Chains A and B, each alone.
Chain A
Amino acid sequence: MSAASVAGEVMEELDAAVRPADDFGEQLLEVSMGPQHPSTHGVFRMNVALDGERVMKLKPVFGYLHRNHEKIAEQETYLGSMPYTDRLDYFCSITNNWAYALAVEKLAGITVPERAEYLRVITGELTRLQNHACLIGFLLQDMGASGTPLMYAFREREKILDLFEALTGARMMCNYMRFGGCRVDLPAGWLEQARGVVAGFPKFLDEFEQLLQSNEILMERTQGVGVLSKELAINAAVSGPMARASGVNYDLRKVDRYGIYDRFAFRVPLGAHGDVYDRYMIRVLEMRESVKILEQAMKEIPGGPIVDPKTKIRGFRPKPGEAYGRIEAPKGELGFYLVSDGSANPYRYRVRPPSLINLTVLEDMCLGRNVADVVIILGSVDIVLGEVDR
């Protein structure tokens, strides 16, 4: 045996001890993204396994904002939970109120007067406008368009929040709905102010579109990224703009026709590719449809009471039974499932959070993409952790 071959053997042994020869290519790097990361839109964490830049595995971790909303609501009266629903999706407190009021109205068989239905549609669609505008702002912020688009969106949101403040006394925690109607009627001059805000909104959208729609960087970053198939979207009960971007024609305003949505002429935009760009575009188009609904509703709003006078507010005890009520919230299908045992507080109170259920498919959308894409895919889902963790 020559000296050279012995040396070769020793080197091989050494190599094997230090680093298995062919193991290097298979090593995955585990990265914990979040919970304290600006791109997670709150305290959300993803455990990501990376092969270089490519995502091989992604497991979301929840619960950082968990306070057991449902248990607290079960120890509270029915009306007592109304202000607490504001804190679920704190961007859209009015639609949270609406979903809860709708479920209780189904449970107890309460009717809602005409004017209150119109007030609900007006405030609900204003909520949708500001939510979608901000979401697009955040999405672009995630993409690196620092500040400008987000501040444009916040400028519009500010006008809508001023309207909410004038109406309900609060900018974000509105606590506006009551079982069988709304809490307060419109103050003098509110409708004119709202008409002005809504009339100015398409101009903002035009400006936004001019800035972004055909922006090359935006298209490069979003088209073909985070594709979600129609079949998977339905099977995973993905709802809201995210489902419609994948071509699922399922808008509860059209399907359930809750409230008075059957009276308004509006269309449901659908995406063809199910990628991040479609999700972005769907929201832009939905804002235009919301403006249409708002214009019609503000033209037709009748006078009359804003709450059903027969509704019992004190000592409210619905008969035993259960009900599931759902609405098309800006983030998707927001449902409340209530079980009553005839007492003053619900026996079971369940929130069906659209943000949480839309995250079911996050891993499917991110596999094989880069880390930077994960950030914008998550941004395009539109989550609020107050609702995800409850």
Chain B
Amino acid sequence: MELEVAKAAIEAAVPGCRLEMVVNPSPSAQHSLLMDAEHAVAVATWLRDAEGMRFDYCSNVTGIDWPAKELTEKVKVKKLVDGPNGPEEKEVDEVRKTLVPGFLEVVYHLFSVERRDGPVVLRMRTVDREARVHLPSLTGVWRSADFQEREIFDLYGVVFDGHPDLRRLLMWDEFKDHPMRRDYVEPDDYEYEPTAHDEVLERARQHVIAAGGRTA
């Protein structure tokens, strides 16, 4: 399916949705559609059910982390510079820095079992990487997103609103950080999952102290 055609069809079917083509310059030419979070569930449901679309098979769901980055560009600026005959206007190179804010991205790869078509690639982006990391869950549309969205929540920290059971999938529940983020720093000392063993050791230590012994 040509993505341009799909985009026009979605825009006609889901009023108010904002879609944007994301061109993929690699030889694979798998272009994608960037959806706004507000209409994502409506767009997904329509893509799944509409005649001629029937993208009933959401194969792959994954996250990507795009941290904030600084873009530097050289700009020629006219400036007054002190010359031998007093101030004069000259073209001077100036380095201008712009900060592109970071965000988290979620990518869905859709296929159609019925029409043997695909992939159609959908993307959604969070506003930033810290506070506004909420996106709508598409688990209600495709069950296959269930564990995969949990994995993204676990490893990237995207919070999926409307997910039936949003818990960490691979890391343990007490774990704090999101290891797949680009700026994740491995701890020097891993905080292991507390076990009954730790408690016993601590009680034994207290016992030794109470008895007037020395502990390491």
Counting CB contacts under 8 A, is A106 at the interface?
A: yes
Counting CB contacts under 8 A, is A253 at the interface?
A: no
**CB contact between A337 and one of B26, B107, B184 (< 8 Å): that residue:** B107
Counting CB contacts under 8 A, is B147 at the interface?
A: yes
Q: Which 7 A-B pairs have the closest CB atoms?
A: A321-B26, A109-B27, A237-B144, A323-B28, A236-B143, A63-B170, A106-B28
Given known A-B contacts A71-B180, A359-B147, A322 and B60 have beta carbons under 8 A apart: no
Chain B residues, Cβ within 8 Å of A357: 144, 147-148
Chain A residues, Cβ within 8 Å of B121: 324
Q: Would you call B25 and A321 a contact (CB within 8 A)?
A: yes
- For chain B, the bracket of interface size reads 20 to 34
Given known A-B contacts A107-B28, A324-B119, A389-B170, A235 and B142 have beta carbons under 8 A apart: yes
> Which candidate, B1-9, B34-42, B51-59, B86-94, is the interface stretch facing chain A?
B51-59
Given known A-B contacts A66-B171, A352-B60, A108 and B144 have beta carbons under 8 A apart: no
User: Do most interface residues of chain B lie in helix, strand or loop, or is the interface mixed?
Assistant: loop
Chain A residues, Cβ within 8 Å of B147: 62, 356-357, 359-360
Given known A-B contacts A68-B179, A106-B27, A235-B56, A63 and B143 have beta carbons under 8 A apart: no
**CB contact between B58 and one of A237, A249, A319, A322 (< 8 Å): that residue:** A237
Given known A-B contacts A232-B143, A360-B147, A63 and B169 have beta carbons under 8 A apart: yes
Q: Would you call B57 and A108 a contact (CB within 8 A)?
A: no
Task: Give per-residue flags for B2-46: 1 if the beta carbon is below 8 A from chain A beta carbons, else 0.
Answer: 000000000000000000000011111010000000000000000
- With an 8 Å Cβ cutoff, the count of chain A residues facing the other chain is 46
* Distance of A12 Cα from B99 Cα, bound (Å): 74
Chain B residues, Cβ within 8 Å of A356: 147
Chain B residues, Cβ within 8 Å of A70: 180
Q: Would you call A321 and B28 a contact (CB within 8 A)?
A: yes
* Distance of A28 Cα from B25 Cα, bound (Å): 56
* Distance of A333 Cα from B60 Cα, bound (Å): 10
Q: Would you call A323 and B26 a contact (CB within 8 A)?
A: yes
* Distance of A352 Cα from B172 Cα, bound (Å): 21
* Distance of A335 Cα from B118 Cα, bound (Å): 14
Counting CB contacts under 8 A, is B209 at the interface?
A: no
**CB contact between A255 and one of B24, B25, B116, B168 (< 8 Å): that residue:** B116
